[in-house]
Amino acid sequence: MLASSRLPLRALAVAIATVALNAVELPMRALQRLLGVPRIGWVFVTPNLVVLGLFTFLPIVIDFYYAFTGGVQLDLRARPFTGWENLQTLFECGSYLDPSTCRKDLFWRAVHNTAWFALLQVGLMVVLSLVTALVLNRKILGRGFFRGVFFYPVLLSPVVVALIWKWILQREGLLNAMLHSAGIAGPVWLNEPGWAFSWSVFVSIWAHMGFYTLILLAGLQAIPADLYEAAEMDSASPWRRFYRITLPLLMPNLLVVLVLAVIRAVQMFDEIFVLTGGGPGSATLFIVQFIYQTAFAESIRLYGLAAAASLVLATTLLALTVVQLRISRQGLSGKAGRDDG
């Protein structure tokens, strides 16, 4: 029933597409005559650039403007110029290592939380992804199935992920029920600062590790099998094989995964926001949530401060991306002669 109703729809879609495309061709030919072949590339790239310009680059510029102005107005013209004041407020601290000595203690708590989170989450996740990739690389039945198993949570939306785990971690949720049957009284997990943080790390690992597992798995599978056979003939131990063959050849992928994961961890927001809302207190408050809170959740909105914090975050991410590009370029040169596509 469905298939038969799709056919005329498909014909309709194809018809529309052909007409539209042929219509576009005329002006394109004209432009081609005007600009010549290499420069026609500009026309192809323009739609993407326009969208990026309007919705990414222009806002960045406006963000700077917000950061250097004060007041609570959204309208740019109504904002008084305050210069470095916002950034100075942000960085006013007795000691950067102790948020409680800072004027914007919540910002610095967020910075510390994010730093620890990035460290722990990425560290654990990369190790787990590597282990999983190694296991999946073996000759086992149902390998494709298991590969999908680890990848499934990656597809779920952050809201869904957070709600699933929130449900399990309730005072009378599944986890506490299982502990109860073992005679242990579980706490209200998400209401204890230490536990809330640990669970944030766990949940985000759960939701993302499948992605990195796949990347590492692809890297492992690209290692030529004859290297291993040669090693076996030299009766090298499995550990030696790993250390001497797998690790060095996988290093480019590992580094890429590492940096990608850190960049993502630093930007963590959606699932943690729904899971804990930054609480208890500010135990799971991360930078992006601080920005969101300052600009949206407070009744008196300090857009300038939020923008200043955004710039700090952007600088961090810029540094990390540069690192990542350097690494992947090095990695590429080390993989000369390998077929990737």
3 state SS of 298: coil
Which residues, at least 6 apart from 327, have a Cβ–Cβ distance to it below 8 Å?
252, 255, 256, 259
Alpha carbon distance 98, 231 (integer Å): 52
Residue 120 or 263: the one with the smaller Cβ distance to another protein is 263
Residue 119 or 155: the one with the smaller Cβ distance to another protein is 155
**Of residues 184-213, which lie at the interface with another protein (CB under 8 A)?**
188, 190-191, 193, 206, 210-211
Q: How far is CA 187 from the centre of its chain?
A: 30
CB 176 within 8 A of CB 170: yes
From residue 235, alpha-carbon distances to 32, 139, 226, 239 in Å are 63, 20, 14, 11
Size of the site for another protein (CB under 8 A): 145
Q: Closest separation between CB of residue 233 and another protein, Å?
A: 15
CB 258 within 8 A of CB 122: yes
**Residue of the chain from 19, 52, 119, 230 that contacts another protein (CB under 8 A):** 52
Q: Does 124 bind another protein (CB under 8 A)?
A: no
Q: Does 73 bind another protein (CB under 8 A)?
A: yes
Q: Closest separation between CB of residue 127 and another protein, Å?
A: 13
Q: Does 278 bind another protein (CB under 8 A)?
A: yes
Q: How far is CA 257 from the centre of its chain?
A: 11
Q: Does 249 bind another protein (CB under 8 A)?
A: no
From residue 214, alpha-carbon distances to 73, 118, 151 in Å are 46, 20, 8
Q: Closest separation between CB of residue 134 and another protein, Å?
A: 9
Candidates 117-125, 228-236, 240-248, 267-275; binding stretch for another protein (CB under 8 A):
267-275
Element (H, E) at 44: helix 40-52
Instruction: Tokens for 329, please give them.
Output: 């370029």
Candidates 115-123, 227-235, 243-251, 280-288; binding stretch for another protein (CB under 8 A):
280-288
Instruction: Tokens for 183, please give them.
Output: 């005679």
From residue 209, alpha-carbon distances to 140, 148, 201, 281 in Å are 20, 12, 12, 28
Q: Closest separation between CB of residue 311 and another protein, Å?
A: 8
Q: Closest separation between CB of residue 45 and another protein, Å?
A: 4
Buried b (16+ CB within 10 A) or exposed e, 120-157: bbbeebbebbbebbbebbeeeeeeeeebeebeebbeee
Instruction: Tokens for 251, please give them.
Output: 């290093």
Residue 131 or 230: the one with the smaller Cβ distance to another protein is 131
Q: Closest separation between CB of residue 234 and another protein, Å?
A: 19
Q: Closest separation between CB of residue 34 and another protein, Å?
A: 12
**Of residues 91-120, which lie at the interface with another protein (CB under 8 A)?**
100, 103, 105
Q: Does 131 bind another protein (CB under 8 A)?
A: yes
Q: Kindly write out the interface string for residues 147-186 of this chain, putting x where it contacts another protein by CB under 8 A and - elsewhere.
A: xxxxxxx-xxxxxx--xxx-xx---xxx-xx--xx-----
Q: Kindly write out the interface string for residues 209-248 of this chain, putting x where it contacts another protein by CB under 8 A and - elsewhere.
A: -xx--xxxxxx-xx--x------------x----------
Residue 234 or 340: the one with the smaller Cβ distance to another protein is 340
Q: Does 286 bind another protein (CB under 8 A)?
A: no
Beta-carbon count within 10 A of 96 CB: 12
CB 108 within 8 A of CB 90: no
Q: Does 19 bind another protein (CB under 8 A)?
A: no
Buried b (16+ CB within 10 A) or exposed e, 250-278: bebbbbbbbbbbbbbbbbbebbbbbbbbb
Q: Does 77 bind another protein (CB under 8 A)?
A: no
Residue 96 or 98: the one with the smaller Cβ distance to another protein is 98
Nearest to 189 by CA among 169, 173, 206: 169
Q: Does 5 bind another protein (CB under 8 A)?
A: yes
